[in-house]
A and B are shown apart, each in its own frame.
Chain A
Amino acid sequence: MPQLGESVTEGTVGTWLKQPGEPVAKYESLLHVITDKVDTEVPAPEAGTLLEILVPEGETVRVGTVIARLGQAQQTNLQPPVGSLQTNTESQGVSATHISNGDQSSIVNPPALSLSKGQSPISIPQSSIVNRQSPRAFLSPVVARLVAEHDLDVRQITGSGANGRITKQDVMRYLETRPATGDRRPEPVELRPATGDRRPEPIREAREERQDGTQHAVRSPQSAVRSFDLPEDAELLPLTPMRRAIAEHMEHSVRTAPHVTTVMEVDVSAIAMHRARNKEAFERQGVRLTFTPYFVQAVCAGLQAVPVLNSNFTDEGIVVQRRLHVGVAVALNEGLLVPVIRDADEKNLLGLARAVNDLSERARTRRLKPDETQGGTFTITNHGTSGSLFATPIINQPQVGILGVGAIVKRPVVVSQHGVDAIAIKPMCYLSLTFDHRVADGATADAFLVAVKRALEGYA
C-alpha cells in the first residue's frame, strides 16, 4: 500500500483494475485506492503480469502492506514470484513504493532493493539499507538542487555525512562515477501520486522517456513543473505577478460570492453641464475634471441611502462599514489596479477630482503605495472609457458591490414635461451594479442604483 500523502497511514483498496494473470504495462493503472485524503489510481511500477492479489477490494490496510505480486507470466506456476509491489514500512525509514524484479537483470535496481530469487513475500533486508538515503531524509539545499538538476535518485547515492546524510561531495563523486551517458539509467521506482508533489505528472514524464528510449536529459526546474504539453503551434505567455494576482483574485471572487448584475440608464446632462461650466476653473487649480469624481460622489450618495452595500459578508453576519472608501479601477497595459479614495464622502468635487487624478496617474506610473490599493469598501470601474455600454463586473473581494460605468453616448430619448412627450437628444449612460446576492437582493440593489441615478440626474 503506497503512502498517498504525508500523514496518511492506511488505505482502502477500491477496485482492482487488473485480475491475476493479466499482463500489465509499466505505469498502467492497477487499482483504485481510497484514503481519507485522496482517491487515486495506483499505476504499476513495472511491466509484468499480475500474479496474485493479496488484499481484496474494500479492505483497509496499513501503508507498507504488500497488496499484490507482480512478475513474469511464465513463472506463475513454476517458481515463487520474483517481485512484489511493496512499500517499505516506517520502521525501515523509507516510505515510497518499490518494485523488485530479481531475475530481470536488464532493469537496474538500487542494490538495496534487489532481491535474490525465492524470497517471498519479498521484504527489504534491514541491513542493506544502512547508509542508504531515505527519500524523506534531510537534503541540504545544495544537494537538493544538484539532485533536481541532474534528476538523480537519492537512494542511489551513499551518504558519508552525519547520520548517513548525503553531502555535496557524495553527489559530486556519484556524478563522476555513475554509468556514462548511453548506459541505462536506473529506472525510477518511486510512485508518488500528484498530491502536493512538486512535479505534477511524474508518471507521464517517465513514460515519455521510456517511449523515445533515449537517455534521460537534464530537466530544468521550469520544464519539470509544467503540467501540460505545449502544442507546437502555440505560445506560452508566462504569468506576470500582476496577471497571476488578478487571476487568483477574480477566481476567488466568483467562487466566493453569488454575483448578480443589475443595470439602469442614467441621463448625465446635469453633470455634463456642470463639468463644462467648471472645467476651466478646476484647470486653473491644476486639476483635470473628468466624469469620474461625479460618479464617486453619486456612489457615496447611493451607499448612504443603502448602507448594506458598503459592507463585508461573514458567516457571523454582515459587517457594515461606516466609512466610505471608494476604489476606482485604473486600466494599465498589463492589467488593472484599484487605488482607493479614502473617506470619499468627506471630499468635495475638487478634492475627489484631485484624488482621482493623483491616484490614477500614480497607478499608471506604478508609484502607488501598497496601502493605497487596500481597504476599499466599494469599487467603481469605468469600463465605458473603452467604449463598453454595460458590463457584468466582478466584485473586488471582500467588498459586496461594484459599479460599472458605461460609455456616455448621446441618444434620442423620450422626455415628458407637463404631460407632453417629446424626443430629445441626451447624453446617456448605463450603470451596471454587480452585487453579492448573499448580502442584498435585487430590490435593495436597485434602491442603491436609484439613489445613484437621482444624485447624477439632479446634480447641481
Chain B
Amino acid sequence: MAEINLLEAIRQGIDEMMAHDPGVFILGEDVGKRGGVFRVTEGLMDKYGAQRVIDSPLAESVIVGACIGAALNDTRPIAEIQFADFIHPAFNQIVSEAARMRYRSNGDWGVPLVIRAPYGGGIHGALYHSQSIEAFFAHVPGLKVVAPSTPYDAKGLIKSAIEDPDPVLFLEHKKTYRLIKGQVPDHDYRVPIGKAEVKRPGDDITLIAYGLMLHFCLEAAQVLAGDGVSVEVLDLRSLRPLDTEAILGSVRKTGKALVVHEDNLTGGFGGEISALISEHAFEHLDGPVMRLAGPDVPAMPFAKPLEDAFMPSPEKIVAALRKLAAY
C-alpha cells in the first residue's frame, strides 16, 4: 500500500498493462519525449521505446482514427487527447466509427481503444483548457465513459478500460491529478466499469457526483453532518454504462437527491440522472430531484472571480443541500 496521487495512479496502471501486454501502446501529442503535458506518461518512452509511446501530430482526428485502425489489428491503443477541449475534431471518429464498430459488424469486430482526456476547470485554464465534455459522449451508445475521482479507482478503472473489448473514454479531472492522493494497493486489481460506489453512507439525502465534484460533495456532506443531516455521497465512477441500481437504491432509501456536475446545466448529465430517478423512484421521493451545475455560459472564464462563479464549490453544494434538507 502506498499513498500516491491520481496522476501517478493512472501512470502505474498504464505501465503495468504495457509491461503485461505488448499490444498496448500510446499515441498522443507530447506523450513521448515530454511525457505528456501533465507528465502522466513520463518515463514510459524510455521504458517501452518510441514504437509504443508515439508522439503524434496536432490532429486529434488522426490520433483517434489511427488508433481505431490499430485496434482493429489486434492492438490495444491508448489515445491521449491533450485537453478534453481538443477532442471535438475527433468527435466523428469516436462517435461514428469507434462506438459503432461492434454494432455495425454484427458483433464481430470491436475497437479496444482507450481515449484519455483531461477535463474540467478550476485550474485557471480559461476557455480552451477547462471544458467538461462528458455529456456529449455519454449520450452515445457503444461508447463507455468513465470518470474516476480517486487514485484507487483511477488505477483500477484504467486497467479495466485497457482490457475492455470496446472503446472507453477515460476522463481525468485535471485538478484532481496532483490534489487528490490516496492509498493504492501494490497487488494487481481492477475496478469494474459501470459500478458506482457509495463514498460516504447516509440516510437523508443522496448526493451524486463524479470526478472533482465528488470531493467537493464529500466536504459538503461533512458540513451537513454538523447540521444533523445525513448525506449519502454516491460516486458514479462510470457515466456509461450507468449504475442505475446504485442510484435508485440510494434514492429509495433517502427520498431526496442532488446531482452535482461542473458541466453546464442544460442538457448536462445530471438531467439524465434526474429523469431516471423521477421515472423509477417516483413513489420514494420526498422532494424535487435537484441539480447543481455550471451555469449556461459558453465557457469557463479566465478571471479568478468569474472562474469561481462558474465552478460549483463545497459552499454552493452546502447551500443546495440545506435547501433540499429543509424542503
Contact = CB atoms under 8 A, between A and B. Distances in A.
Interface residues of A, number: 12
Interface stretch (A164-172, A232-240, A243-251): A164-172
B258 to A, nearest CB: 15
A144 B255 CA distance: 12
Contacts of A165: 327
Contacts of A142: 255, 283-286
18 contacts: A140-B255, A140-B285, A140-B286, A141-B283, A141-B286, A142-B255, A142-B285, A142-B286, A143-B286, A144-B283, A145-B284, A161-B326, A162-B326, A162-B327, A165-B327, A167-B286, A168-B255, A168-B286
B89 interface: no
Contacts of A168: 255, 286
Contact of B285 (A141, A161, A162, A169): A141
Given A143-B286, A168-B286, 8 more contacts: A140-B255, A140-B287, A141-B283, A141-B286, A142-B255, A142-B284, A142-B285, A161-B326
- Of A145, A161, A162, A167, the most chain B CB neighbours within 10 A belong to A167
Given A142-B255, A162-B326, A169 B204 contact: yes
Interface string B197-230: 0000000100000000000000000000000000
Given A168-B255, A169-B204, A161 B284 contact: no
A138 B255 CA distance: 16
B327 A141 contact: no
- Of A140, A161, A162, the most chain B CB neighbours within 10 A belong to A140
B302 interface: no
A167 B283 contact: no
Interface string A133-170: 00000001111110000000000000001100101110
Interface in B278-309: 282-287
Interface string B262-284: 00000000000000000000111
A165 B282 CA distance: 18
A145 B327 contact: no
Nearest to B203: A169
Contacts of B284: 141-142, 145
Contacts of B326: 161-162
Contacts of A161: 326-327
Contacts of A145: 283-284
A299 B326 CA distance: 69
Interface of A: 140-145, 161-162, 165, 167-169
A383 B284 CA distance: 49
A365 to B, nearest CB: 25
Nearest to A148: B283
A169 B324 CA distance: 13
Contacts, number: 28
B288 to A, nearest CB: 9
Contacts of B255: 140, 142, 168
B278 to A, nearest CB: 9
List 9 A-B pairs, minimum CB-CB distance, nearest first: A168-B286, A168-B255, A140-B286, A142-B286, A145-B283, A141-B285, A142-B255, A141-B283, A142-B284
Interface residues of B, number: 10
Contacts of A167: 286, 327
A271 B146 CA distance: 69
Interface of B: 204, 255, 282-287, 326-327
A143 B256 CA distance: 12
Contacts of B204: 169
A414 B327 CA distance: 86
A161 B283 CA distance: 18
A166 to B, nearest CB: 9
A249 B58 CA distance: 67
Contacts of B286: 140-143, 167-168
Nearest to B288: A140
B75 to A, nearest CB: 44
Nearest to B323: A162
Nearest to A140: B286
- Of A141, A144, A145, A165, the most chain B CB neighbours within 10 A belong to A141
B122 to A, nearest CB: 32
Nearest to B256: A168
B276 to A, nearest CB: 15
A143 B283 CA distance: 8
Nearest to B326: A162
A169 B254 CA distance: 10
A144 B286 CA distance: 9
B316 to A, nearest CB: 20
A161 B285 CA distance: 14
A402 B80 CA distance: 69
A167 B285 CA distance: 10
Contacts of B327: 161-162, 165, 167
A140 B327 CA distance: 10
A165 B283 CA distance: 17
Contacts of A169: 204
A178 B99 CA distance: 57
- Of B283, B284, B286, B327, the most chain A CB neighbours within 10 A belong to B286
A162 B322 CA distance: 12
Nearest to B285: A141
Nearest to A165: B327
Nearest to B278: A141
A144 B285 CA distance: 10
A145 B284 CA distance: 8
Contacts of B285: 140-142
B10 to A, nearest CB: 41
A328 B326 CA distance: 60
A145 B282 CA distance: 10
Contacts of B282: 141
B105 to A, nearest CB: 28
B282 to A, nearest CB: 5
A165 B307 CA distance: 37
A168 B286 CA distance: 6
B203 to A, nearest CB: 9
Contacts of A143: 286
- Of B204, B282, B287, the most chain A CB neighbours within 10 A belong to B287
Nearest to A143: B286
A169 B229 CA distance: 11
A145 B286 CA distance: 10
A169 B282 CA distance: 17
A446 to B, nearest CB: 56
A161 B255 CA distance: 14
Contacts of A144: 283
B66 to A, nearest CB: 45
A165 B326 CA distance: 10
A142 to B, nearest CB: 5
Contacts of A140: 255, 285-287
Nearest to A168: B286
B5 to A, nearest CB: 40
A448 B325 CA distance: 72
A153 B160 CA distance: 53
A143 B284 CA distance: 8
B15 to A, nearest CB: 48
